[in-house]
């Protein structure tokens, strides 16, 4: 009798979740590219779609590249938090409609916003600057996932470079 641990239900559930997240990310990445690459921010949209598609491929093919779990998790969490926080530096402000002033923050998707509506542009701007920020949780989750995937891709690149260096020494 071989002394092997029987695969647990949690391992099977984890593999299924990884496969579903990978498939969803791959489809969403390609869809993002197809629907937005012709817009005004084509380079940024192509980058976002590519990150989601590549991350989906990495999640779908664990047999092709083995990632160190702890390092990958730490890098993904750190890059997700740092990237989302750094994305707040990118902001847009616009006047819309009949004197609505709106300020957005976040990259690649704006997730924090404040604004105001008034009878003239100056009043709308002044009111908007004194308004509270609102947070779109779905856009925030998308930003966190984008930056976490970016961290995972960086780990993949590091693992591939290390693997190539090991092969060249042989």
What is the pLDDT, as a whole number, of residue 154? 96
Largest CA distance in the chain: 82
**108: preceding bond cis by omega (within 30 degrees):** yes
What is the pLDDT, as a whole number, of residue 6? 56
- 98 in Cβ contact with 128 (< 8 Å): no
pLDDT in tens, 104-158: 999 898 899 998 888 888 888 888 888 899 999 999 999 999 999 999 999 999 9
- 170 in Cβ contact with 76 (< 8 Å): no
Which helix (H) or strand (E) segment is 72 a member of? helix 69-87
What is the pLDDT, as a whole number, of residue 7? 66
Tell me the two tokens of residue 55: 């991350």
Distance CA 133, CA 137 (A): 13
pLDDT in tens, 58-95: 999 988 888 999 999 999 999 999 999 999 888 887 77
**29: preceding bond cis by omega (within 30 degrees):** no
pLDDT in tens, 7-66: 677 888 888 999 999 999 999 999 999 998 887 788 888 999 999 999 999 999 988 888
- DSSP label at residue 68: P
């Amino acid at each position: 009798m071989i002394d092997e641990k029987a695969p647990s239900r949690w391992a099977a559930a984890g593999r299924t979740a990884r496969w579903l997240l990978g498939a969803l990310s791959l489809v969403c990445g390609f869809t993002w590219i197809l629907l937005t690459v012709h817009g005004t921010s084509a380079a940024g949209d192509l980058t976002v779609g590519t990150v989601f598609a590549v991350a989906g491929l990495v999640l779908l093919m664990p047999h092709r590249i083995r990632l160190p779990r702890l390092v990958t998790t730490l890098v993904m969490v750190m890059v997700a938090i740092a990237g989302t926080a750094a994305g707040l530096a990118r902001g847009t402000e616009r006047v819309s409609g009949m004197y609505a002033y709106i300020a957005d923050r976040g990259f690649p998707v704006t997730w924090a916003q404040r604004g105001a509506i008034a009878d003239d542009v100056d009043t709308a701007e002044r009111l908007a600057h004194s308004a509270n920020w609102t947070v779109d949780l779905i856009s925030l989750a998308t930003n966190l996932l984008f930056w976490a995937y970016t961290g995972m891709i960086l780990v993949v690149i590091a693992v591939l470079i290390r693997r190539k260096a090991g092969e060249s020494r042989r």
